[in-house]
Amino acid sequence: MFREKVELSTRYIAIIGNPNAGKTTLFNALTGLRQKVGNYPGVTVEKKEGKIIFSDGCSATLLDLPGTYSLTANSPDEKVATDVLLGRTNHTPPPNFVICVVDASNLERNLYLVSQIIDYHIPVVIALNMIDVAEKSGMTISSKKLGDELGVRVIATIASKKIGVDELKKIMQSNVTASLKARQWSLPKVVKEECDELQTMLQGTQHLSEADAFHEAIQLLTSPTALSEHLDRYAPELLEHVKKDHERLDILGIDRQSVFVESRYEWIKHVCEASREIKSQSFETTSDKIDKVLTHKIFGFVIFLALMAMMFQAIFSWANAPMEWIGEGFNELEKNVTALMPPGDIRDLTVNGALAGVGAVVTFLPQIFFLFLFLGLLEDTGYMARAAFIMDRLMSKVGLHGKSFIPMLSSFACAIPGIMATRTIENRKDRLVTMLVSPLVSCSARLPVYVLMIAAFIPQQKVLGIFSLPGLTLVSMYLLGLFAALIFAWIFKKTLLKSDAPVFIMELPPYKLPSLKTIIMHTWERSYLFLKRAGTFILGVSIVLWFLATYPKTERATPAEQLQQSFAGQAGRLIEPVIKPLGFNWKIGIGLIGSLLQREVFVSTMGTIYNIKDSDTQFSNLSLRQKMHDDIDPHTGVPTFTILTAICLMVYYVLAMQCMSTVAVMHRETNSWRWPIFQISYMTALAYGTTFVVYRIGLLLTA
Amino acid sequence: MEIFPRSLSETPVGKRVRIHQLESKPEVCHRLRELGFCENAIVRCVVNGEGNLICEVCNTRIGLNHSIAKEIIVSAFE
Ligand SMILES: Nc1nc2c(ncn2[C@@H]2O[C@H](COP(=O)(O)OP(=O)(O)OP(=O)(O)O)[C@@H](O)[C@H]2O)c(=O)[nH]1
Ligand SMILES: [Mg+2]
């Protein structure tokens, strides 16, 4: 009994299926985890493990995989899935069996993958998902009949409502086998003869299993490059044989490329007819009607821009009030702590180091919340795939295709998921270009820097009667990042990474009402991560910074002089000559050095050093932005910040690659140091150069 | 009288046609076939704007750009 349990717990079960079939939703329902779900193909691009515990206490490891349309992988994310399935990776053991998630509303295309899995004799159980969607579009599918046709067990599920999940669990505990039926789809007679012959030869000479030999034979018969590519792998006699086969089939007028796919679809048609009943068929669905407007060549673009404008409105205006509350809350807290604790270093550390640093960052929680909420809505309604579709025209102008736009949109949240999302791009060079430029798109970590600078220095004015100047400034910063990304994509595509214009083929899932629960949960999770980072990483950095900004202590110095003499002040003054041409002084230098780790650190650094500097005037009730606004160098009488410095600083942050995590992900995804180093170099040079130009022009204009 | 065969990109919205032949690069053709655009499949055009088009094949919508749509040759169905 005990042994059996151990054996079960080491069982490895993989979830596979077409993109957007509901694999992750099912994975979450089975494991209780909360992996990201979204209504567009390509949400999951990595394998994710989870533990599933059955009612009898046994457990097994479940693996969520990216979606794939077939076992011939076309892009890196599909390769992750097929490699696991065919046991071609060393990182994970071959799964004991797989759950194939089939989208019932789109049975034909989904069964294509199923037929390949059956051919490989992989033990499989089918989760016939989205039966609610299928019902709604007027078809009924009998899972019993489908199972009989395929020779495997089929469970009808609605993963998003956890329907059928228990039944699936029960089957997972039992012995799952490969299809009980032998390969059923049949090739035209001549093709079959050639294929069988080749398969026997391969089994003999290459010692392949029957399934592998069959697929290798298909590969050799269809692929136009098979002969030249495999020169060293196969014996000359075999290659000679393949060549003769090609000639024979070509003379008979058989299209070698299409015959295999067509034969499979022929069989699939039969399976569908036997198990599916179509009650009513509507040609134009609601989704189609919406698409006529949303993907229209002019309206589509206008609506996209309007949606973006709304997002910035939310971030800038709606988030303002909660931001003030949080700011006041922290101020209150600092005041109380100051009153409670005896004066001394410990109090300074707590108030000026920890609270000021963390508080400065946490005030931006509302903005982060709205940003994620908005992106979540785009993802869950199905609009994301449409955005890629609309933007394909623009992207093709710079030599990329619409799929490259999804990583850029994801980069509004963070460049890391953005870079991961490039795995759906088929062409290696196009993928690299997209990875190189995605961090130019303004991520959520830049948002606090922008908002702080804008709130402190950009006057509240109306432009053209309707737009507010601060709001416009924020939008300009985002646009600057996007334009830079597009321009550099074009440059890279023309020089370093030349390749043909890619083809755009993308599934557009039907629109659906967003599930508020999922979105709020996801938004909350991201906001929580932001808070957690503020409470751990930012807190640590703020404390270290407080030490660096307080020591060594100088006798009888004013706090301002003290700051200048401190380690941090010395470091800031050390780099001052380098940043002077951009209009930045040593205080900004401290922030720039700190934010090399992460961009938000700039804000916490400002929080800490301005609190230290002002600590002579008892407790000041001024907000950080006012302190920054009022800061004037006592010797020279020059203010640290002017509108121009604020703009220069924002421009610098738009373009500079100040994020160690992005470097790490680039290294992992490209498997080299060359590209991340290149990326840091070009972005830093770009940021420095552009800021310099902006500063010079600004000086001329204000002179 | 309509003239067939012609390219998918010339198909008006709402019209159903039958795929006759694919003329793209072999890898692209293979992918198209696996997605359901295989010979003899029935395709309906949902959106056909200036740049890209959306087609329905096997009950799913697939977005394509113009250059591939030009390489998909279709014949009459209705
Ligand atoms: N109506 C309905 N919607 C579902 C069902 N299962 C999943 N969904 C929705 O379908 C969408 C796609 O779900 P995911 O779980 O992200 O799909 P996936 O297969 O993991 O997709 P990729 O990771 O992109 O390959 C989400 O919006 C889900 O909420 C279902 O049974 N019925
Ligand atoms: Mg997924």
What CATH number is associated with residue A53? 3.40.50.300
CB within 8 A of A145, min separation 6: which ones? A274, A275
Token readout for A272 is 């569908």
Please give the residue of chain B at the shortest CA–CA distance from A507: B62
Co-location of A157 and A12 in the same domain: yes
Whether the predicted pLDDT of A294 surpasses 50: yes
Co-location of A117 and A239 in the same domain: no
**DSSP, res A163:** B
B38 domain-assigned: yes
The residue with greater pLDDT, A47 or A624, is A47
Query: What whole-number percentage of chain A has pLDDT above 70?
Result: 96
Q: DSSP labels for A176-244?
A: --S-SS-------HHHHHHHHHHHHHHHHHH---HHHHHHHHHHHHH-TTHHHHTTTTS-HHHHHHHHH
Co-location of A579 and A678 in the same domain: yes
Cβ distance B52 to A504 less than 8 Å, yes or no, reads yes
Whether the predicted pLDDT of A86 surpasses 80: yes
Q: Looking at ligand 1, which atom is closest to the CA of residue A20?
A: 21
Nearest to B61 among A283, A402, A508 (CB): A508
Q: Distance between CA A371 and CA A447 in Å, rounded?
A: 10
Question: Which value does ipTM take for this structure?
Answer: 0.94
**What total number of domains does chain A contain?**
3
A512-560 pLDDT, tens digit per residue, is 888 888 888 888 888 888 888 888 888 888 888 888 888 887 777 777 7
Pick from A229, A253, A277: which residue ends a domain?
A253
Q: What is the mean pLDDT of residues A633-650?
A: 83
pLDDT tier at A128, thresholds 50, 70, 90: very high
Co-location of A13 and A107 in the same domain: yes
Q: Distance between CA A330 and CA A656 in Å, rounded?
A: 30
- Cα→Cα distances A252→A69, A188, B76, Å: 30, 12, 26
Co-location of A93 and A217 in the same domain: no
Side chain identity at residue A75, one-letter code? S
Please tell me the number of the ligand nearest to residue A519's CA: 1
Cβ distance B51 to A392 less than 8 Å, yes or no, reads yes
How many other C-beta atoms lie within 10 A of the C-beta of residue A572?
Answer: 27
Determine which of A574-578, A632-636, A642-646, B67-71 has the lowest per-residue pLDDT on average.
A632-636
Determine which of A135-139, A212-216, A542-546 has the lowest per-residue pLDDT on average.
A212-216
Q: Are A130 and A104 within 8 A, CB to CB?
A: yes
Please give the residue of chain A at the shortest CA–CA distance from B44: A283
Please give the residue of chain B at the shortest CA–CA distance from A115: B34
How close does chain A come to B31, measured CA to CA in Å?
Answer: 8
A121 domain-assigned: yes
Co-location of A206 and A110 in the same domain: no
Which residue reads 């030249």 in tokens?
A228
Whether the predicted pLDDT of A466 surpasses 80: no
CA of A143 to the centre of ligand 2 (A): 23
pLDDT reported for residue A620 = 56
Pick from A138, A173, A208: which residue ends a domain?
A173
pLDDT reported for residue A615 = 58
How many helices and strands in chain A, by DSSP H and E? 34, 11
Nearest to B60 among A261, A504, A507 (CB): A507
- Cα→Cα distances A628→A354, A610, A622, A631, Å: 19, 7, 10, 5
Ligand 1 pocket mutation, candidates A37, A155, A161, A518, criterion most atoms within 8 A of CB: A37
Q: What is the mean pLDDT of residues B24-49?
A: 87
A451 domain-assigned: no
Cβ distance A261 to B38 less than 8 Å, yes or no, reads yes
Q: Are A40 and A509 within 8 A, CB to CB?
A: yes
Which residue reads 């006057």 in tokens?
A459
Peptide bond into B5 cis (omega under 30): yes
Co-location of A113 and A197 in the same domain: no
The residue with greater pLDDT, B2 or A89, is A89
- Contacts with B, A 86-115, CB within 8 Å: 105-109, 112
Token readout for A66 is 């990216």
Q: Looking at ligand 1, which atom is closest to the CA of residue A39?
A: 27
Q: DSSP labels for A70-113?
A: SSS--SHHHHHHHHHHTT--SSSPPPSEEEEEEEGGGHHHHHHH
Q: What is the mean pLDDT of residues A83-100?
A: 87
Q: For chain A, what is the mean pLDDT?
A: 86
pLDDT tier at A486, thresholds 50, 70, 90: very high
Q: Are B48 and B9 within 8 A, CB to CB?
A: yes
Would you list which residues of chain B are within 8 Å, Cβ to Cβ, of chain A? Answer: 14, 22, 24, 26-36, 38-41, 44, 46-47, 49-52, 54, 56, 58-65, 67-68
Does the pTM of the predicted model rise above 0.95? no
- Contacts with B, A 631-660, CB within 8 Å: none
Residue-range definition of the domain harbouring residue B29: 6-76
Cβ distance B61 to A255 less than 8 Å, yes or no, reads no
Pick from A228, A253, A278: which residue ends a domain?
A253
Co-location of A166 and A228 in the same domain: no
**Three-class secondary structure of residue A456 per DSSP:** helix
Ligand 1 pocket mutation, candidates A25, A63, A70, criterion most atoms within 8 A of CB: A25
A524 domain-assigned: no
Query: What whole-number percentage of chain B has pLDDT above 70?
Result: 96
How close does chain A come to B77, measured CA to CA in Å?
Answer: 15
A323 domain-assigned: no
Residue A532, CA atoms < 13 Å, CB-side half-sphere: 6
pLDDT reported for residue A115 = 92
How close does chain B come to A671, measured CA to CA in Å?
Answer: 26
pLDDT reported for residue A541 = 86
Token readout for A281 is 């068929």
**What total number of domains does chain B contain?**
1
A165-183 pLDDT, tens digit per residue, is 999 999 988 887 887 777 7
pLDDT tier at A481, thresholds 50, 70, 90: very high
Whether the predicted pLDDT of B1 surpasses 60: no
B1 domain-assigned: no
Chain A residues with CB under 8 Å of B42 CB are none
CB within 8 A of A279, min separation 6: which ones? A138, A139, A140
Q: What is the mean pLDDT of residues A489-498?
A: 90
**Three-class secondary structure of residue A13 per DSSP:** strand
Co-location of A165 and A220 in the same domain: no
CB within 8 A of A414, min separation 6: which ones? A443, A444, A445
How many other C-beta atoms lie within 10 A of the C-beta of residue B24?
Answer: 16
A613-638 pLDDT, tens digit per residue, is 665 554 455 677 778 878 877 677 77
Co-location of A193 and A146 in the same domain: no
Q: What is the mean pLDDT of residues A680-699?
A: 94
Please give the residue of chain A at the shortest CA–CA distance from B35: A109
Determine which of A123-127, A183-187, A539-543 has the lowest per-residue pLDDT on average.
A183-187
Q: How many residues does chain B have?
A: 78
- Strand arrangement of the beta sheet that strand A59-64 belongs to: A48-53, A59-64, A12-17, A97-103, A124-129, A153-156
B27-39 pLDDT, tens digit per residue, is 888 889 888 888 8
A618 domain-assigned: yes
Cβ distance B58 to A108 less than 8 Å, yes or no, reads yes
pLDDT reported for residue A621 = 58
- Cα→Cα distances A702→A187, A644, A696, Å: 78, 9, 10
Q: Are A316 and A470 within 8 A, CB to CB?
A: yes
Q: Looking at ligand 1, which atom is closest to the CA of residue A163?
A: 31
Residue-range definition of the domain harbouring residue A246: 189-253
pLDDT tier at A2, thresholds 50, 70, 90: very low
Token readout for A82 is 């097929």
Q: Distance between CA A367 and CA A322 in Å, rounded?
A: 9
**Three-class secondary structure of residue A341 per DSSP:** coil
Q: What is the mean pLDDT of residues A198-225?
A: 80
Co-location of A246 and A161 in the same domain: no
Chain B residues with CB under 8 Å of A138 CB are none
How many other C-beta atoms lie within 10 A of the C-beta of residue A330?
Answer: 20
**DSSP, res A458:** S
pLDDT reported for residue A1 = 39
pLDDT tier at A142, thresholds 50, 70, 90: very high
A693 domain-assigned: yes
Contact residues of ligand 1, CB 6 A cut-off: A 17, 19-25, 37-39, 41-44, 66-67, 129-130, 132-133, 158-160, 380, 515
Give nearest CA residue, ligand 1 atom 14: A22
Determine which of A70-84, A122-136, A157-171, A240-254 has the lowest per-residue pLDDT on average.
A240-254
Query: Which CATH number belongs to the domain containing residue B39 in this structure?
Result: 2.30.30.90
pLDDT tier at A383, thresholds 50, 70, 90: very high
Co-location of A101 and A224 in the same domain: no
Q: Tell me which H or E stretch contains B29.
A: helix B26-34
